Amino acid sequence: MVRDWTAVIPVKRLSAAKSRLRGAVPAPRHADLALAMVCDTVSAVLAGEAVGELVVVTDDPVAAAAVGALGARVVPDTPAADLNAAMRFGADEIAGLNRFRAVLAGDLPALRAEHLDEALSQAGTRSFVADAAGTGTVLLTAGPGEPLDPHFGLGSAAAHAASGAKPLLGDWPGLRQDVDTPADLRRVLTQGAGRHTCDLLRDLGLTVSCVPAA
């Protein structure tokens, strides 16, 4: 598979990230959990065959250093607005409209590289993958010449469909399962979370259901 795609992941400042997940781990380690999930997502994206470059849009210096060490290109969040603005900036301005672009959520610790490759092989034009609940979005793609036009937020799957994006259908549990709540984290651990998330939970003694991804 040719590495045609540029992937983009926006990352909030870790101190403000994943507010609904608070309580899943002790408060002093909350930012570490958010970072571990980002690192597992980044690692899976870069391990695949479809993505040639990964751009992470963030103003968090700790996240920037960690994902840069994994091989991502880090750019500052110049719009300094919301998630959609960061995604548009990374995809349409940094990567450029002449590229195949894919934006992903940064909280996919059970993502498998081969599942992302399969989803991207079905994309080609502006498309999206709904989350496990069917209401949110975990992946949005755009082809050369197409603006990304993201509509992330409450009810984003319906919003992306209404905007003309094609839903991508496939059995990709790790791609579809983002982690917003402690219940989401429990579910994702049964699917096989990545090394960074598992190592953190093991360090906290919370690894009963943690099966590291192959």
Contacting residues for 120 by C-beta, under 8 A, at least 6 apart:
5, 50, 51, 100, 102, 141
The whole-angstrom separation of Cα 58 and Cα 74 is: 7
* DSSP designation for 20: G
137 annotated as ligand-binding: yes
Strands 137-142 and 51-58: unpaired
Q: Which two tokens stand for residue 151?
A: 């509509």
For residue 153, say whether it is annotated as part of any ligand binding site.
yes
Alpha helices in 96-181 (DSSP H): 113-121, 156-162, 173-176
124 is in an annotated binding site: no
CA–CA gap between residue 2 and residue 51 (Å, rounded): 8
Q: Is the CB of residue 109 less than 8 Å from the CB of residue 156?
A: no
Q: How would you classify residue 70: left for phi > 0, otherwise alpha for psi between -120 and 50, otherwise beta? A: alpha
Could you tell me how far CA 112 lies from the centroid of its own chain? 12
Cα–Cα nearest to 112, from 33, 165, 50: 50
Q: Detail the residues annotated as belonging to a binding site.
A: 137, 153, 156
Q: Detail the residues annotated as belonging to a binding site for phosphoenolpyruvate.
A: 137, 153, 156
